[in-house]
Amino acid sequence: MKIKSLGRVGDAGATEHYADPLYYSKTYKSRTHDVEYYAKLARRSKGPVLEYGIGNGRVALAIAKAGVHVTGVDLSQPMLDSLAGQLEALPKQMRARVDFRHGDMRELSLGRRFPLVIAPFNCVLHLYERPDMEAFLARVREHLAPGGRFVFDFSVPHGEDLCRDPDKAFSAPRIRHPTTGELTRYAERFEYDRLRQLLLIKMEFSPEGTKTKPWTVPLTHRQYFPREMEALLHYNGFTEIFFTADFTDEPADQRVDSLIVNCRADD
């Protein structure tokens, strides 16, 4: 699987990582700093909140627990099915604070406006071409209430990830895969397309038992550089564009991993 065959919105590099909610939930169970950050923003806004890339509710359920209504949009039906199952086990009052729609975030119009629109955990990195980003930002503007804020995060490109040998596998500790139940060896390979600024991460799973054959999951991320992102927002009608570091209100420095972007539509 080469990167030249990927890099289109909704292709395997944008969907297969989200086809197994059990594995996704286990992998990111300890990732809580962004959840706390977005829940805090939701409380401040008093809601309702629109979340792009709601998935199976990692962030949205925390927002609902904070007493704020959240509406979500996602392209992955398996993740939304997982969210629906989790909601069934929750108290009625909390269930009422979460609703979601299956759809393309470049296209779906809800006919409502929100004081806070969020796109957590690299959601925007699945917008691979400029027209994709522009269509998405148009939908964000459409859904923002006057004076509302758009907040999202994205991983800052790191040179070491962009120049790795695509034939070299980087191994990680074995895992007990939650779907197969088997002890599984795990490794990643990185391939970067410098012209399209696309990073393909090949996640390789090799079960140690005999029940399941090895498989590979592609994950494609557009590499947006900070000043490039600022320009895209500016020329698509956003202002008061602020960057902070790693789910804090602190300025970013050279060690930043995730940039937080906070902006509003230019009225």
Which contacts qualify for 236-243: CB closer than 8 Å, 24 or more apart? 236/133, 236/134, 236/137, 236/138, 236/141, 237/137, 237/141, 237/265, 237/266, 238/137, 238/141, 238/150, 238/263, 238/264, 238/265, 238/266, 239/263, 239/264, 239/265, 239/266, 240/264
Residues 68 and 109 in one domain: yes
Residues 38 and 52 in one domain: yes
Residues 173 and 131 in one domain: no
**Contact by Cβ (8 Å): 64, 36:** no
Helices and strands counted in the chain (H then E): 9, 11
Residues 152 and 252 in one domain: yes
Residue 76, classified by CB atoms within 10 Å of its CB into exposed (0-12), middle (13-18) or buried (19+), is buried
Residues 186 and 77 in one domain: no
Residues 152 and 170 in one domain: no
Q: Summarize the confidence of residues 254-261 as an average pLDDT.
A: 95
Residues 43 and 117 in one domain: yes
Q: What is the pTM of this model?
A: 0.96
**Contact by Cβ (8 Å): 51, 118:** yes
Higher pLDDT: 159 or 187? It is 187
Residue 79 has pLDDT above 90, yes or no: yes
pLDDT tier for residue 125 given thresholds of 50, 70 and 90: very high
DSSP secondary structure letter of residue 157: P
Total domains present in the chain: 2
pLDDT tier for residue 222 given thresholds of 50, 70 and 90: very high
Structural tokens at position 123: 């959601």
Residue 180, classified by CB atoms within 10 Å of its CB into exposed (0-12), middle (13-18) or buried (19+), is middle
Start-to-end CA distance of the chain, whole Å, equals 44
Residues 213 and 256 in one domain: no
Per-residue confidence (pLDDT) for residue 3, from 0 to 100: 76
The predicted-structure confidence for 226-245, as pLDDT tens digits, reads as follows: 999 999 999 999 999 999 99
Q: Is residue 59 part of a domain?
A: yes
The predicted-structure confidence for 29-74, as pLDDT tens digits, reads as follows: 999 999 999 999 999 999 999 999 999 999 999 999 999 999 999 9
Question: Which residues partner with 102 through β-bridges?
Answer: 74
Provide the domain limits for residue 206. Answer: 159-222
Residue 2 has pLDDT above 90, yes or no: no
Structural tokens at position 144: 């923002």
Q: CA-to-CA distance for 125 and 122, rounded, in angstroms?
A: 5
With the C-alpha atoms ordered 249, 255, 261, 266, is the resulting torsion angle positive or negative? positive
Q: Summarize the confidence of residues 62-91 as an average pLDDT.
A: 97
Q: CA-to-CA distance for 151 and 263, rounded, in angstroms?
A: 7
The predicted-structure confidence for 160-219, as pLDDT tens digits, reads as follows: 889 999 999 999 999 999 999 999 999 999 999 999 999 999 999 999 977 889 999 999
Cis peptide preceding 21, ω within 30 of 0? no
Residues 42 and 116 in one domain: yes
Q: CA-to-CA distance for 131 and 137, rounded, in angstroms?
A: 10
Q: Is 81 helix (H, G, I), strand (E, B) or coil?
A: helix
Nearest to 66 by CA among 100, 36, 102: 36
Residues 59 and 99 in one domain: yes
Structural tokens at position 197: 């600024």
Residues 213 and 173 in one domain: yes
Residues 140 and 177 in one domain: no
